[in-house]
Amino acid sequence: QFHEDGFLVLEHFFTAEECDSMRSQIQRIVEEMEVPMHCRTQFSTREDEQLQAQGSSDYFLTSGDKIRFFFEKGVLDEKGNFLVPKERSISKIGHALHAHDPVFKQITHSPKVQELGRKLGLERPVVVQSMYIFKQPGIGGEVTPHQDATFLHTEPLGRVLGFWIALEDARLENGCLWFIPGSHTAGVSRRMVRAPPGTLPCVRFVGSEPAYDDSRFVPLPTGKGGLILIHGEVVHKSDLNSSEFSRQVFTFHVMEAKGTSWSKENWLQPTPELPFPSLYT
């Protein structure tokens, strides 16, 4: 079914205790977070805003091997001061929780994740990035239709796989994921690539996202502890969270490294400090 649809839901893959341990750990991280004024980047998935915010921000571009903080739109004033409490303003934390935090490292490399990788036929999977996404009550922004391979490009395609873990119930009301079944077979329509050094914005888009027919999207409500496997080229989105409940998730991406080259044009690059670690331990 995964190969047919490009996604698969595995309910109750993680226990309530595992979900709660991740949420408690992130609470501690947020309580201790110190973000310099010039690094307060508002996160967006709209192309023009992405180029403006992430594309001109070294803080974003160099976050591949660090734990960094990104905020919802409208929660900062012109000077970068918080207009709402910081724990309610944060959009996501990325992109190396899997490497630097013991709780998220343990989840990423848990025996059941490794076993699932083997069942999917992954021979040399490496972890390329991880994110904690908050989808805050009332302000959790929409994620526009996209393919993960737009940002994480490989030669050949079809080598990137997302693991998306619901840490609380993801419902229609609070912004669950929506997919176009079978849309992973048509290649990639758009790529975000690094611009030449010294130019702003630091990233640019090649190609464009087509206008998708809304009626083709299927919602995937997922209970707490559910895991959604996401093919790198399947088209998916999530709506604004207008409810009073957050929709927190931990997600990470792996790449089958055997016979695969990671694009040098991707915004995210392995570093000497953090080469992409093997999923299998």
Residue 277 CB coordination number (10 Å)? 17
Under-70 pLDDT residues of the chain: 43-45, 49-57
Tens of pLDDT, residue by residue over 47-92, are 776 556 554 568 888 899 999 998 888 888 888 888 888 888 899 9
Number of H helices, E strands in the chain: 8, 16
Contact 134, 140 (CB under 8 A): yes
Tell me how far apart the alpha carbons of residues 188 and 11 are, in angstroms, rounded to a whole number. 29
State residue 72's pLDDT score: 85
3-state DSSP assignment of residue 44:
coil
> Which amino acid is present at 281?
T
Token pair listed for 161: 């796989």
pLDDT for res 50: 57
Closest CA to 29 of 110, 121, 94: 94
Q: What pLDDT does 55 receive?
A: 44
Residue 167: name the closest of 239, 251, 92 by CA. 251
| Two tokens, residue 116 | 């699932």
pLDDT for the residue 197: 81
pLDDT of 51 reads 59
What is the residue type of 166?
Answer: A
In the 8-state DSSP scheme, what is residue 211? -
**Domains located in the chain, CATH noted:** 1-262 (2.60.120.620)
What pLDDT score does 78 carry? Answer: 83
